[in-house]
Structure 1
């Protein structure tokens, strides 16, 4: 039972019967300009826009150039390199296990916690959301998904089938969680996976844009892809509709007053479209690649129409939400972010913090590209470019002013080099195996994404996240995971596959150290490549199949590191199977 306490913003005291609920909505590849709030007349996003009218809007808010780093920084309040995140797939997206997350913190404070959507910071427990403070998880842990209409998903580690368009489905789950909240406060992370490609969206939204005249254009209109652009706008309007459903639910349950609703995106737009004339898009460290909307509504603590001009970043959101909810920060690691809560009240505390942040610097990096943003300038180091831009006089970054400000250029260049050196040192080298058999979760998933193919086996696409293995034709072929069994035990093994009738009968062998398991493929299961029929624009990612599970058998695994290897010892046909996923269930 929660006691009466005070929700404190500096200079403001609001009596509350219980802590505020929190709903964090995170879009995927939606640029700053993909909202009508930003001035884009190509689309309408009234529900998202209403969060600014009824709460606060941050003018200069920055995230990372791509997905998993932004998510890691939100979860920890620390730059993503410090948590071991250096890529978007095949293990590089995993957040180090010694990092305390916002889920851990709110759960420890008595909140019911849940995440519904795209996780993208590790799949195998305890990298899994259920191991990072979230009681309930429904969605997928990869960086992108190949089909958005009733695809294979997971619920707390168990493979399930989705129900309809994924963003609608994730929203339904969040609404159900809110409706069952009772009197206990909830913390919901709702990380949508759109408008990330593949460009799929329900007909009702696509029809609005299929033949729509686009009036506001990218700064280089010749770079626009008409189908991709229209699909992205349609997906953004679908997001807005789902945000409206969340807001309506809070209203119907009389939870509006004491629920914090936060909305932002994980990077710049995933294509050339209007973005306020800024330079760069997803993957870029320039303004257009890292500037995101940030909107926060909390009627009990934020005055409607509040505008925050101070530079802010995704690393600030963890400490900000913790202070707003009076949740203690217990992490032993130093946060890079700071609480922006004082800026949300027109008080001396807020004005003092704004003054202290007048010279703040925010750093961004992706691969070998990096930049630093001050309230007036941005220095970008990308390839041979080491340019300084005056963001007030030249917000589109057209003109390098390094020659006019040589001392400032030298100073910021050195600070950026020092920061990058510190980040590389914190990141270290990748030595983490894929963890399996942890006693904290019944199921372990080992997708083709995380495996190494040996021999003739080919990956269905160069982007691993939702790929599968094909061309498995020889007994010398292998599928290998660099693994570590967390606790010895007996496990039931399942394989998700497709197999033509002519190829039924292969004998499979799974081995780990001296432990082996053999089983036969006895059932044909065919599937066309799926996804193209729903794509509004040609995709780069792998198509998928309608995978079916087969139980291979039971295997006893010893604790410790090793190579988990799947091979075929007999192949009566031309090919073994197309392989998508192996799961282990602790018995």
Structure 2
């Protein structure tokens, strides 16, 4: 299926809405006497993100205790990104063989017919359940219950703010129970542990051996966590405080889980595997355990992760480190052997059983199972699979990208490339890779259908941009910015039966109830969608936009107009929303007031102070309502924080601070080129004096030219200065001073990347600080405000507010999200 528009979701439904639950996996025999299996996977945490691995300030006492009680695979490898790791773990096969090679781009599905861990264990008599992040497909036949899990509580995509979960929340959000949509209460990590423990308690009561798969959403972005977990790291980790808070919450839940296993009498006969799904992310700048690289990369820091195995009653070797190279693909054959479960006939695993190694046959350098000097390939794809985008692991050798060679036994941080001195090793590892690559066959480059349409197992199918073939558009930011648009990409589908299908095309998720051509949220790009053309099975159909998705479900006519003056002059238009570049805000708003329209104008309301005064005069003269979009005054968390300040909770407040820190790069030196054919540059410039077009100007960088923009102060400062003015209950300052400049790069940017401004109200003072090229924040926040009173300080953020006394003791946390 190919769409010629930038689409968010397509829904396909049979004319007859038949629903049928997928069949439960067949059970061939009881599993009496076999151990239970519990696999816990932490998301986006690297090797160094735990106290037991030497972290300088993150405290993980419960995970450290599990580490001390386990056999530790210290040279354990996964994929550098999460979907390929999950596929490898559940199939025992390399990602390139099983089909799930990427997190998006239509390549995140295990091939039909490949047996999975829950399918194999169910056939051996196990009850199977999963609770958490799936990320191996959202539609039939790829859902957890389609791939062997009898019970599943899960979230689509890679989780919260991924394409299919665009507006979902980590607290009191949406999940799926099997195929049915449901709601959960509380914080998602707590919820997943609660669900898993309740399910295991039921299995214990029914004397059913179980495989419990607990893949967590933590600590993937968004880094949102109840404030009591985040606050201890706010002063040390700044922007990463939420990340470390999520891991602290995981650690607390691991402690709860361990106590549950002991209290329920399950601890001794349950194999516990604890691992992470890829290398480090937000924690890398603080501690990476001496490794080079991070998530997505082929240095060890991208794919060498913790793996602990504990089975108190299973006769494993004493707790300690095992240094033989191992990989996620080893876990399925290992667990089958430890459980005494038969291997499925005709299945060849890429992984090797570690049962002998775990039971103590062989040591970390002399494994009699032949593992110490084994050779295997680590490879996945961001989009299209490419030869030599890989790492080859062989004992302590690492061949990265086919050209760089490192000995990690002597050079853990992979700083010294030995390729020029060890040509024989390079040749041996390249030869291994060539054999591996040649053995993949044509299926390795073929797409797995993202969904089956026309099946009774799922009469209604929802597709998102995350599954466009070879287009990387899988998260909320991508969707807001219309990445891949307006054309998008094809979806690979299998149609099970011929028939008449209804196809609905949306720009935004249906739960947002937005018109097709609307914008959404900060940075949301509106697209003037007038029609859609779909090619399905060689047939092409077209339809004009009918306004579906507008508020109330009523059709709305969408008109594309190039000259905003025609909109303002239209007698059928009663109100206008202005979201142009800054230099058009006040002129357009003033014209609209004069034409009798009410106005919503995005921040800043004007390009300079005098324009703001003229706009106020126009609103009063024509008796129009003008709303200035500072975007925070109705947020519940902000309202309560301001009420606390003005209500005297921290005493009289004489000083407030607002700040914004980011990591913006250079805009370079632009070249004079003709304006794009789809841009009326003269109209775009409008009231500004004419200036030649250049190629680093549109669509965003105009913010950094005084001709059209207002810099970071007008871009982000307006939001936060409005809050401190509101909290202090002040109007015009008596004196304003400011200094700054473009210090970090030598390029075309005219506005400051580093700036301070003070607003003196006589008896109160506001300080604004901008560091848009230096991301370390203040009070652990990249962008926030703080009020400093006689009795304490209140820090107000988008995630609520915190109150401290004069000695910096945390007194109160309001973790109600503001938006």
Decide which moves more: 360-369 or 317-326: 360-369
In 2, the alpha carbon distance for the partners of 1:290 and 1:531 equals 40
Q: Name the residue aligned to 1:129.
A: 144
For the 8 Å contact 1:53–1:304, the answer to whether it is kept is no
Please list, as runs of the form range in 1=range in 2, the aligned pairs for 1:282-431 lying within 5 A after superposition.
Answer: 282-301=295-314, 302-347=316-361, 353-354=367-368, 356-367=370-381, 368=386, 369-381=389-401, 386-423=403-440, 425-430=442-447
Q: Name the residue aligned to 2:612.
A: none
Decide whether aligned partners of structure 1 residues 435 and 347 sit closer, same or farther in structure 2, where only a CA change above 3 A counts: same
Q: Name the residue aligned to 1:524.
A: 552
Decide whether aligned partners of structure 1 residues 492 and 246 sit closer, same or farther in structure 2, where only a CA change above 3 A counts: farther
In 2, the alpha carbon distance for the partners of 1:483 and 1:345 equals 45
Q: Name the residue aligned to 1:570.
A: none
SS of match in other structure, 2:75: strand
In 2, the alpha carbon distance for the partners of 1:60 and 1:259 equals 24
In 2, the alpha carbon distance for the partners of 1:48 and 1:537 equals 33
SS of match in other structure, 2:113: coil
Which ranges of structure 1 fall in alignment gaps of 5 or more residues?
A: 6-16, 213-225, 453-458, 541-587
TM-score w.r.t. the length of structure 1 is 0.75
SS of match in other structure, 1:280: coil
In 2, the alpha carbon distance for the partners of 1:439 and 1:502 equals 30
Decide which moves more: 493-502 or 171-180: 493-502
In 2, the alpha carbon distance for the partners of 1:532 and 1:404 equals 63
For the 8 Å contact 2:533–2:540, the answer to whether it is kept is no
Decide whether aligned partners of structure 1 residues 343 and 478 sit closer, same or farther in structure 2, where only a CA change above 3 A counts: closer
SS of match in other structure, 2:434: helix
How far did residue 30 of structure 1 move? 0.6
SS of match in other structure, 2:246: helix
In 2, the alpha carbon distance for the partners of 1:3 and 1:153 equals 32
In 2, the alpha carbon distance for the partners of 1:38 and 1:418 equals 36
SS of match in other structure, 2:235: coil
In 2, the alpha carbon distance for the partners of 1:89 and 1:502 equals 24
How far did residue 229 of structure 1 move? 3.1
How far did residue 305 of structure 1 move? 1.6
Decide whether aligned partners of structure 1 residues 451 and 306 sit closer, same or farther in structure 2, where only a CA change above 3 A counts: closer
How far did residue 185 of structure 1 move? 0.9
Q: Name the residue aligned to 1:196.
A: 220
Please list, as runs of the form range in 1=range in 2, the aligned pairs for 1:183-262 lying within 5 A after superposition.
Answer: 183-212=207-236, 226-262=237-273
In 2, the alpha carbon distance for the partners of 1:164 and 1:192 equals 15
Decide which moves more: 506-515 or 48-57: 506-515
Decide which moves more: 230-239 or 171-180: 230-239
SS of match in other structure, 1:107: helix
Q: Name the residue aligned to 1:281.
A: 294
In 1, the alpha carbon distance for the partners of 2:533 and 2:110 equals 28
How far did residue 329 of structure 1 move? 1.1
What is the aligned counterpart of 1:97 among 98, 105, 112?
112
Decide whether aligned partners of structure 1 residues 537 and 82 sit closer, same or farther in structure 2, where only a CA change above 3 A counts: farther
Decide which moves more: 113-122 or 159-168: 159-168
Q: Name the residue aligned to 2:75.
A: 60
- After superposition, give the CA deviation of every residue in 1:287-306 in whole Å (9 maximum; x if it has no partner): 11111101011111125424
Decide which moves more: 373-382 or 63-72: 373-382
In 2, the alpha carbon distance for the partners of 1:65 and 1:478 equals 26
How far did residue 388 of structure 1 move? 1.2
For the 8 Å contact 1:311–1:360, the answer to whether it is kept is yes
Decide whether aligned partners of structure 1 residues 166 and 358 sit closer, same or farther in structure 2, where only a CA change above 3 A counts: same
SS of match in other structure, 2:189: helix
Q: Name the residue aligned to 1:30.
A: 45
For the 8 Å contact 1:257–1:298, the answer to whether it is kept is yes
RMSD after superposition:
4.0
How far did residue 50 of structure 1 move? 2.1
How far did residue 375 of structure 1 move? 1.7
Q: Name the residue aligned to 2:706.
A: none
SS of match in other structure, 1:392: coil
Number of positions where the alignment pairs a residue of Structure 1 with one of Structure 2: 499
How far did residue 398 of structure 1 move? 0.8
What is the aligned counterpart of 1:152 among 174, 193, 201?
174
SS of match in other structure, 1:163: coil
For the 8 Å contact 1:153–1:161, the answer to whether it is kept is yes
In 2, the alpha carbon distance for the partners of 1:356 and 1:200 equals 44
How far did residue 60 of structure 1 move? 0.9
Q: Name the residue aligned to 1:13.
A: none
What is the aligned counterpart of 1:168 among 187, 190, 200?
190
For the 8 Å contact 1:439–1:487, the answer to whether it is kept is no
Q: Which has the higher strand share?
A: 1
In 2, the alpha carbon distance for the partners of 1:393 and 1:155 equals 49
- After superposition, give the CA deviation of every residue in 1:486-544 in whole Å (9 maximum; x if it has no partner): 3568999997232369999x99999987999999658539xx9999989x99899xxxx
Decide which moves more: 328-337 or 255-264: 328-337
Q: Say which structure, 1 or 2, has more relative contact order (CA 8 Å, 6+ apart).
A: 1
In 1, the alpha carbon distance for the partners of 2:199 and 2:346 equals 31
SS of match in other structure, 1:187: strand
In 2, the alpha carbon distance for the partners of 1:161 and 1:3 equals 35
SS of match in other structure, 1:195: coil
In 1, the alpha carbon distance for the partners of 2:311 and 2:124 equals 20
Q: Name the residue aligned to 1:268.
A: 279
For the 8 Å contact 1:157–1:445, the answer to whether it is kept is no
In 2, the alpha carbon distance for the partners of 1:380 and 1:450 equals 29
Decide whether aligned partners of structure 1 residues 245 and 538 sit closer, same or farther in structure 2, where only a CA change above 3 A counts: farther
Please list, as runs of the form range in 1=range in 2, the aligned pairs for 1:554-573 lying within 5 A after superposition.
Answer: none
In 1, the alpha carbon distance for the partners of 2:328 and 2:361 equals 23
How far did residue 136 of structure 1 move? 1.4
Q: Name the residue aligned to 1:446.
A: 463
Decide whether aligned partners of structure 1 residues 62 and 521 sit closer, same or farther in structure 2, where only a CA change above 3 A counts: closer
TM-score w.r.t. the length of structure 2 is 0.55
SS of match in other structure, 1:211: helix
For the 8 Å contact 2:129–2:152, the answer to whether it is kept is yes
Decide whether aligned partners of structure 1 residues 254 and 533 sit closer, same or farther in structure 2, where only a CA change above 3 A counts: same
For the 8 Å contact 1:74–1:315, the answer to whether it is kept is yes
How far did residue 233 of structure 1 move? 1.9
- After superposition, give the CA deviation of every residue in 1:142-187 in whole Å (9 maximum; x if it has no partner): 1242242223322212222232221111111111111211210111
- After superposition, give the CA deviation of every residue in 1:169-216 in whole Å (9 maximum; x if it has no partner): 11111111112112101111111122111221211110110113xxxx
In 2, the alpha carbon distance for the partners of 1:470 and 1:408 equals 48
Q: Name the residue aligned to 1:142.
A: 157
Q: Name the residue aligned to 2:735.
A: none
